[in-house]
């Protein structure tokens, strides 16, 4: 049976069912990131604790972001299959707990478990796809995985509303149970890893704890700062100071241990460092748009939530369409030029948002979002694949996890910075969202910021190495193709 690295891929026909199981597991994560939004008011009425409602979202995002780099590295040490099944199991347990929750506190605990499961599923699924598919095929498979998010962005809120209105909001979580079981069964049956040779590397538990603790506090401070407490208040000072101390201790631990949970040395490789920086800024752009395009559509244009959601969904449609075709570009013109083209398209898309005003049509909003999504697909996917292609099998999970953590961190930064801009110029409406006469000018400043971030992305893309295909890489690529 042929192998790629330490992964036994079997016959070529086996890869289709494996990819399908990865897409199903990804769908669980993607749906739960969007499906709960339309049911949150119903949940609060039944369980009480309306003031705790934001934690249903932030705890999920925190748990996922913090655990992503840790699970990515553990996949290199313990094996992809074991970590993927563990992630699905955590998501299963969280779904059961959330679906049967008698109180808001228990529901939030279930969301934490779901977030931890998502933190394993996302990086490990992308790592497995990189393991079993050749360089030519990886963009298309990443496009398939990205398409899951596009579909979920449209289907998720609709399903949430249907369940909460016609059955019970609990089915939002309980429906995951058979899907988790199916994904785990398909993966266990179809995906096989060759036995690992030699002594297993020790796991840096101290480093994992320091990274998780510091990242949690950092993300918590950025997500809640300016909302629950002021940026200059005592809670912000304490949280950010503690985060800095823990992360500094993590850096010390990573440098002195032989097998750190996240090897910071990989960031010194030009392609990995640039790819990680690109991922961080992609997070800023995507969350900035995801947060404030619906607010603009509803608060300025006067549309309903459904229309606003479909305008934003245009971005998630453009992303997988371009991502699935990115392979044709980087195989002909290289990763760097492909990324420069993608980031340039993103600049055009963000610049189009500057033309939006109180009298703009929803189609104009959707058009700008579609162009931005197209640019993101030609940026995020090629830069990630470039980093993966320069990592050995034993590093690929860590590289993927670090890349995805950077995007989560960028998302938190984007929400914090854009929120500070908007909150400084607007008041808070009855529904808790920005409102008032200054809303249009405030959101215009957000769009200006996103244009600047997209311009920086062009510069970073230009810093990618010109030729990533060294002789050793070409030989490894040929071996992977022969094995597949």
The residue written with tokens 């939004």 in the block is 37
Q: How many helices (H) and strands (E) does the chain have?
A: 17, 5
Say if strands 192-193 and 7-8 run parallel, antiparallel, or are unpaired.
antiparallel
Residues near 142 by Cβ (< 8 Å), separated by ≥ 6?
126, 129, 323, 324, 326, 381, 384, 385
Alpha-carbon distance values, 349 to 278, 306, 318 (Å): 17, 22, 11
Residue 237 contacts by C-beta under 8 Å, 6 or more apart in sequence?
none
Topology (CATH level 3) of domain 266-484? Growth Hormone; Chain: A; (1.20.1250)
- Determine the pLDDT at residue 107: 92
Number of residues written out for the chain: 484
Q: What three-state secondary structure class fits 3?
A: strand
Give which of 293, 47, 64 is closest to 170, Cα–Cα: 47
Domain positions in the chain: 1-193, 204-260, 266-484
What tokens were used for 239?
């949280």
Answer yes or no: are the C-beta atoms of 32 and 122 closer than 8 Å: no
Give me the half-sphere count of Cα atoms (radius 13 Å) on the Cβ side of residue 169: 20
In CATH, the number for domain 1-193 is: 1.20.1250.20
Three-state secondary structure call for residue 392: coil
In the block, tokens 């963000």 appear at 350
d(CA 403, CA 127): 11
Same fold: 1-193 with 266-484: yes
Half-sphere exposure of 226 (CA within 13 A, CB side): 17
The partner residues of 193 in beta bridges, in order of sequence, read: 7
- Each of the 484 residues of the chain gets a pLDDT tens digit; together they read 334 445 444 445 478 888 888 988 888 888 887 777 667 767 877 887 666 777 887 788 888 888 999 998 888 888 899 999 999 999 999 999 999 999 988 999 999 999 999 999 999 998 998 888 887 788 778 778 877 876 776 677 667 777 777 788 888 899 899 989 999 999 888 888 776 666 677 888 898 899 989 988 988 888 787 777 888 889 899 999 999 999 999 999 988 888 888 888 888 889 999 999 999 999 899 888 888 888 888 888 888 776 777 777 788 788 888 888 888 888 888 899 999 999 999 999 999 999 998 888 989 999 999 999 999 999 998 899 999 888 888 888 889 989 988 988 888 888 888 888 887 777 665 555 666 678 888 899 999 999 999 999 999 999 988 765 543 444 444 444 444 4
Distance of CA 348 to the CA centre of its chain: 23
């Amino acid at each position: 049976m042929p192998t790629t690295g330490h992964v036994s891929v079997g016959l070529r026909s086996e890869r289709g069912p494996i990819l399908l199981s990865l897409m199903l597991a990804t769908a669980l994560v993607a749906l739960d990131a969007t499906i709960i939004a339309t049911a949150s008011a119903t949940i609060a009425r039944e369980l009480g604790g309306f003031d705790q409602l934001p934690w249903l979202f932030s705890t999920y995002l925190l748990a996922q972001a913090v655990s992503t780099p840790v699970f990515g590295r553990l996949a290199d040490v313990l094996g992809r299959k074991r970590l993927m099944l563990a992630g699905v199991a955590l998501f299963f347990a969280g779904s059961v707990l959330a679906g049967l929750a008698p109180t808001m506190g228990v529901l939030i605990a279930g969301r934490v478990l779901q977030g931890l499961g998502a933190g394993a599923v996302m990086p490990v699924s992308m790592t497995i796809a990189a393991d079993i598919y050749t360089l030519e095929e990886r963009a298309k498979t990443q496009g398939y995985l990205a398409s899951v998010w596009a579909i979920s962005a449209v289907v998720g809120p609709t399903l949430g509303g249907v369940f909460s209105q016609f059955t019970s909001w609990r089915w939002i979580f309980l429906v995951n149970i058979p899907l988790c079981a199916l994904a785990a069964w398909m993966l266990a049956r179809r995906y096989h890893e060759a036995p690992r040779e030699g002594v297993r590397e020790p796991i840096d538990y101290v480093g994992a704890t320091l990274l998780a603790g510091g990242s949690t506090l950092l993300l918590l401070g950025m997500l809640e700062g300016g909302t629950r407490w002021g940026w200059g208040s005592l809670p912000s000072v304490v949280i950010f100071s503690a985060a800095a101390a823990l992360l500094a201790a993590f850096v010390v631990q990573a440098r002195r241990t032989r097998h750190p949970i996240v090897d910071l040395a990989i960031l010194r490789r030009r392609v990995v460092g640039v790819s990680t920086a690109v991922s961080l800024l992609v997070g800023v752009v995507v969350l900035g748009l995801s947060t404030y395009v619906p607010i603009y559509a509803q608060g300025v244009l006067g549309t309903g939530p459904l229309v606003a959601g479909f305008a934003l969904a245009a971005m998630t449609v453009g992303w997988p369409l371009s991502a699935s075709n990115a392979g044709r570009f980087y195989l002909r013109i290289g990763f760097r030029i492909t990324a420069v083209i993608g980031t340039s398209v993103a600049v055009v898309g963000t610049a189009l948002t500057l033309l939006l005003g109180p009298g703009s049509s929803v189609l104009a909003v959707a058009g700008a979002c579609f162009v931005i999504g197209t640019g993101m697909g030609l940026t995020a996917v090629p830069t990630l694949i470039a980093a993966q292609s320069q990592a050995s099998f034993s590093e690929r999970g860590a590289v993927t996890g670090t890349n995805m953590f950077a995007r989560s961190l960028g998302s938190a930064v984007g929400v914090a910075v854009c929120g500070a801009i908007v909150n400084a110029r607007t008041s808070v409406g009855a529904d808790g969202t920005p409102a008032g006469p200054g809303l249009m000018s405030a959101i215009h400043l957000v769009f200006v910021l996103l244009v600047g971030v997209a311009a920086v992305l062009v510069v970073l893309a230009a810093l990618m190495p010109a030729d990533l295909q060294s002789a050793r890489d070409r030989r490894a690529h040929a071996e992977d193709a022969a094995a597949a």
